[in-house]
Structure 1
Amino acid sequence: MLISTKGRYSLRVMVDLAEHQTDGFIPLKVIAERQEISEKYLESIIKLLVKAGLLTGLRGKGGGYKLTKSPDQYAVGSILRLTEETLAPVSCLESGAASCARMASCRTLPLWKGLDKVISDYLDHFTVADLMQHEEEGNDYVI
């Protein structure tokens, strides 16, 4: 599993909008500048997030985008499932995959199913609100 640029950028956009949710609607240009993402590429990501109901948009003067819910109501896993073709570790576990002829006797299938569950559980454990935290991991060691 490799998270695409679209997936990574979608999380950055969601965190950016969450951090600035008191500012009302944020113009696409402002988000693009803050996140150093091309406006054209960001527009395709925003459209996907709006279509899924994660964001709402307002056209015209004073328009832009904002979250439809509070940051703690957006699971990272659901955002990545929206933007990524798949989060499955192997093709036979992808949604809509053709049944493998070896599935019934596959010795490794339980391993892949377990990994798939770990990935989903891990990504669903985090929310956009969690990503807003500025904790610096690894700086709590004692010598």
Structure 2
Amino acid sequence: MKISTKSRYGMRFMIDLAQHYGEGPIALKDVAERQSISKKYLEQVVAPLSSKGLLSVTRGYMGGYQLSRSPEKITLEDVVSASEDGLDLMDCISGHIRCDRADGCTSQKVWGGLQQTMRDYLASKTLADIISA
């Protein structure tokens, strides 16, 4: 199981904005330089974060991105869910599909437990927790 590059970069982007919270809009190129991520790729990374309401965008001269809420109110679950389009490890656990073995599947409990542990951990940490650590 791997976390996608989009999620990893999304997390780095959001942590960077949290470190500069209260400074006004931050230009994408500035974050790209600080994080050593190409601006073009970062544009793709911020799109789902913005569409999920985690970012405020200011266009034009002196424009840029900033967190839509304080770092204390954005969890790591918010960030990863936006980047990954959810946190479901397997479709059968989330209830999106039903496989033929669902009623007697003992391994489903393992994957369900892992998914819940991951979700609980990410939900328990905020961007503020990360930047203060």
- Aligned residue number for residue 73 of structure 1: 73
**2: CA distance, partners of 1:79 / 1:95:** 22
Q: Which residue of 1 aligns with 2:51?
A: 51
Partner in structure 1 of residue 23 of structure 2: 23
Q: Considering only CA atoms, is the larger Rg found in Structure 1 or Structure 2?
A: 1
Equivalent pair of 1:58/1:65 in contact (CA under 8 Å): yes
Q: Is the 1:86–1:94 Cα contact (8 Å) retained in structure 2?
A: no
> TM-score w.r.t. structure 2 length?
0.91
Q: After superposition, give the CA deviation of every residue in 1:36-93 in whole Å (9 maximum; x if it has no partner).
A: 1100010111122111111111111111111110001111012111111553334422
**Structure 2 residue ranges without an equivalent (≥5):** none
Distance 2:44 2:69 in 1: 21
Identity of aligned residues (%): 41
- Distance in 2, matches of 1:94 and 1:85, equals 13
Output aligned runs, 1:58-97, within 5 Å.
58-94=58-94, 96=96
The structure with more helix, counted as a fraction of residues: 2
Flag the 1:124–1:42 CA change in 2: closer, same or farther, 3 A: same
8 Å Cα contact 1:74/1:127 also seen in 2: yes
For residues 94 and 70 of structure 1, what CA distance do their matches in structure 2 show? 30
Unmatched runs of 5 consecutive residues or more in structure 1: 135-143
Provide the residue aligned with 2:131 in structure 1: 132
Find the aligned partners of 1:101 and 1:120 in 2 and give their Cα distance. 26
RMSD of the alignment, in Å? Answer: 1.6
Aligned to 2:41: 41
Q: How many residues are matched?
A: 133
